[in-house]
Structure formats: C-alpha cells, structure tokens
C-alpha cells in the first residue's frame, strides 16, 4: 500500500514555542492531505484539508493562525503549531488519498505525539 511518513514521532516543547510537523507521501503524489488531531481515548477530529499550491481549508473551530499548514509540493505538507500551550498536547496525524485509487482510502502517517510543558 501507499506510504505516508510523518516526522517527528514525538516532540516535547515548552509553552509558547512553535512546533513543525512534516507529512510526506513517499511513493505517490498527494494533491490533498488531511490533518487530524486525536486526544487520548477519543476519535480522530479533522482539523484541515491541505491543498497543494493553495490555502488550506480549516474545519469549524480550528484556528488557522494557530495551526499553520503549508503544502508546497505534491509530496509534502507541514503543520506548524504556533505558540503552543499545554492544551495543544495531542496526537496529530496526517493522511492522504492516493490519486487514481479505486477507493477513497486514506493512508495515514505514523502520527506525531506533541507534549507541551
């Protein structure tokens, strides 16, 4: 199956700092990637849709100035959590759909666990 790689897997940062998470599609091109957030024992909540070469589309309630998304190439999308606070601690997962696939299957990255102290 298609491979989506996410980096870093774990990150601990101080409150007020910014953290960048990278999501790469390794063996296919992804014009669209999706960023999800998952709190412990909860479901995946869609944060935004990342579109290559254009602005991301954010879900209701997600602050676009706080969660900066850049999709500069067909294989890379980045999520920057700016001025992180402890309540931003969560599991952030990116995903992508393979173009031309028979199904709308999402391929997920390994996830990035963010802890803000």
Partner 1 sequence: GQQVMQIPQYQHVQEGEDFTTYCNSSTTLSNIQWYKQRPGGHPVFLIQLVKSGEVKKQKRLTFQFGEAKKNSSLHITATQTTDVGTYFCAVVGRGNTGKLIFGQGTTLQVKP
Q: Taking CB under 8 A as the rule, does residue 93 contact partner 1?
A: yes
From the list 15-23, 68-76, 81-89, 96-104, the region that binds partner 1 by CB under 8 A is: 96-104
Q: Mark 4-43 with x for binding to partner 1 (rule: CB under 8 A) and - for no binding.
A: ----------------------------x-x-x----xxx
Residue 86, SS3 per DSSP: helix
Residue 104, SS3 per DSSP: coil
Alpha carbon distance, N-terminus to C-terminus of the chain: 37
- Tell me the C-alpha distance between 44 and 63, whole Å: 17
Site for partner 1 in 54-73 (CB under 8 A): 57, 60
Measured from the CB of residue 68, what is the shortest distance to partner 1 in angstroms? 19
Q: Taking CB under 8 A as the rule, does residue 106 contact partner 1?
A: yes
Contacts of 56 (CB under 8 A, 6+ apart): 48, 49, 50, 64, 69, 71
Q: Taking CB under 8 A as the rule, does residue 108 contact partner 1?
A: yes
Give the footprint of partner 1 on this chain (CB under 8 A). 1, 32, 34, 36, 41-46, 49, 57, 60, 93, 95, 97, 103-111
């Amino acid at each position: 199956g298609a491979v989506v790689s996410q980096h870093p897997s774990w990150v601990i940062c101080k409150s007020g700092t910014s953290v960048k998470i990278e999501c790469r599609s390794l063996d296919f091109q992804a014009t669209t990637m999706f960023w999800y957030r998952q709190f412990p024992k909860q479901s995946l909540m869609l944060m935004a849709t990342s579109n290559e070469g254009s602005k991301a589309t954010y879900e209701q309630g997600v602050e676009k100035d706080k969660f900066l998304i850049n999709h500069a190439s067909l294989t890379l999308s980045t999520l920057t959590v700016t001025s992180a606070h402890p309540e931003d601690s969560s599991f952030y997962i990116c995903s992508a759909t393979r173009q031309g696939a028979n199904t709308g299957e999402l391929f997920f990255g390994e996830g990035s666990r963010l802890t803000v102290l």
